[in-house]
A and B are shown apart, each in its own frame.
Chain A
Amino acid sequence: MKLFYYPGCTVKTKAKNLEASALAAMKELDIELVEVASWNCCGTVFGMSTDDLLHQLAPLRNLLRVKEQGGDKVVTMCSMCYNTLKRANHLIRTDEEKKKLLVDFMSEEPVHYEGEVEVLHLLEVLRDVVGFEKLKEKVKVPLQGLKLDPYYGCMLTRPQEIGLDNLENPTILEDFLVALGAEVIKDPMKTECCGSYHTVNAVEVVVERGYGILNSAVKKGADAMVLSCPLCDYNMDHRQREIVKKYVDFTGIPIFYFTQLLAIALGLETSVNHFDLNYVDPLPLLKKRNFVA
């Protein structure tokens, strides 16, 4: 089966470890992810103001590209791209007046788009297309005994119109990790915000948040945390450099993209995970537990 996928800027550069592990793992599950041709940056955040239609052009163009190339679905792995594309699509589907303004504005590039393309997150594909039961059967290296802390952040589940899972208590990551054979930690911090874009201008905010969220995982006995968003990943993983300096009681915890654990459980070559791009090296943990040689 072939599905179009929209990578987005960060997945192509800083988060290659997310992309490479996702592509390899999905191939193993007989799903070929085909990169949409001529994609552009989605804008990263959905413009929330009613007059900010200019920022809806970027996501709309990407959805158009998918339709032109014959797709009715597009898969994303970055939570921010997912949120932006899905909300822009929702706007096109539900707001005639704004849609008309956007179409008129783009008069030089004919737009025939009514929101036909379905925006999916890769986790949804694993749940609804592959199915967690089926996935369980494909696991070659069950992650037995590995205690994992699922972390959703904000953009994967909020607001309501995203509809991926329950807003207050999503479980898709838990269900996925259980299918891989892991043990899942119950953590009330799983939908707390990582501090997001404050990592640029107010690192101290992100350090506070990161410590609170990571420390909760450690206290509950987690071996590692699992997430899907490259911005959460930067704040949870790379910012540990600052967190350990401020909080001496905190000694660090490895952070995985969900796709990296998928690749391991499917028995793929460790190299597809590009662990060199993870700040806290997860290999010692994986080796110690005999998940990789």
Chain B
Amino acid sequence: MKVELSSEKVKSDFVKKVEELSGQNILSCYQCGKCSAGCPSSYAMDLLPSQVIRMVQLGLQDEIVNSKTVWLCASCLTCSVRCPRGVDIAAIFEALRLVVTRDKDKLNYVEPSEITAEQLEELPQIALISNFRKFTG
């Protein structure tokens, strides 16, 4: 993947926002890859969790927003409890989702009004509420 690096991106508001929302110091990550190794969703991700963290360090907002990774994360916390640097990766992914879902120009990732009557009847409430909490603004 070809990306363009610049000091503006590294020092951008995007990086600050993600650090603020997640309460994490993004530079703590030393790219060991342990988070990616244990992630149960990584098989389906276009960017591995550790790659997304690296991209946040570099301020690559567009690349992250266009990737499926944070939308495939199930907030299972496997990565967060294993990171040797104590980085709460799941919280960083939550922050990344919020950057998108809180943007008034962007659509919800899941649109509650499109949930069918059949799904409403069948699915447990905890599935629906947690899904909307993660995927709508």
Interface size on B, residues (CB 8 A): 39
Interface segment out of the listed B1-9, B26-34, B76-84: B76-84
Q: Is the CB of A234 within 8 A of B74?
A: no
- Assuming the contacts A49-B21, A51-B21, asked whether A231 and B44 have C-beta atoms less than 8 A apart, the reply is no
Interface size on A, residues (CB 8 A): 42
Is the C-beta of B113 less than 8 angstroms from some C-beta in chain A? no
User: Scoring A residues 3 to 22 as 1 if CB is less than 8 Å from chain B, else 0, what string do you get?
Assistant: 00000111001110000000
Please indicate the chain B residues that have their CB under 8 angstroms from the CB of A15 in the complex: 124
Measured CB to CB, the residues of B under 8 A from A are 20-23, 40-41, 43-44, 72, 74-78, 80-81, 88, 90-91, 94-95, 98, 109-110, 115, 119, 122-131, 133-135
A231 vs B127: C-alpha distance when bound (angstroms): 6
14 further A-B contacts with Cβ under 8 Å, apart from A154-B74, A199-B127, are A9-B125, A10-B124, A15-B124, A43-B133, A45-B130, A50-B21, A80-B126, A158-B76, A159-B80, A196-B130, A197-B74, A197-B134, A200-B119, A200-B131
Which partner residue on chain B sits nearest A196 by CB separation? Answer: B74
A278 vs B10: C-alpha distance when bound (angstroms): 52
**What secondary structure prevails in chain A residues at the interface with B?**
loop
B9 to nearest A CB, angstroms? 22
A-B contact count (CB 8 A): 120
Q: Is the CB of B134 within 8 A of A10?
A: no
Best-surrounded residue of B21, B23, B130, B133 (most CB of chain A within 10 A):
B130
Which partner residue on chain A sits nearest B97 by CB separation? Answer: A49
Is the C-beta of A1 less than 8 angstroms from some C-beta in chain B? no
Q: Is the CB of A45 within 8 A of B44?
A: no
**What secondary structure prevails in chain B residues at the interface with A?**
helix
Q: Is the CB of A197 within 8 A of B95?
A: no
Please indicate the chain B residues that have their CB under 8 angstroms from the CB of A13 in the complex: 124-125
Best-surrounded residue of B74, B80, B88 (most CB of chain A within 10 A):
B74
- Assuming the contacts A49-B94, A167-B81, asked whether A196 and B75 have C-beta atoms less than 8 A apart, the reply is yes
A158 vs B22: C-alpha distance when bound (angstroms): 17
- Assuming the contacts A167-B81, A193-B74, A193-B76, asked whether A200 and B127 have C-beta atoms less than 8 A apart, the reply is yes
- Assuming the contacts A45-B134, A193-B74, A195-B74, asked whether A50 and B23 have C-beta atoms less than 8 A apart, the reply is yes
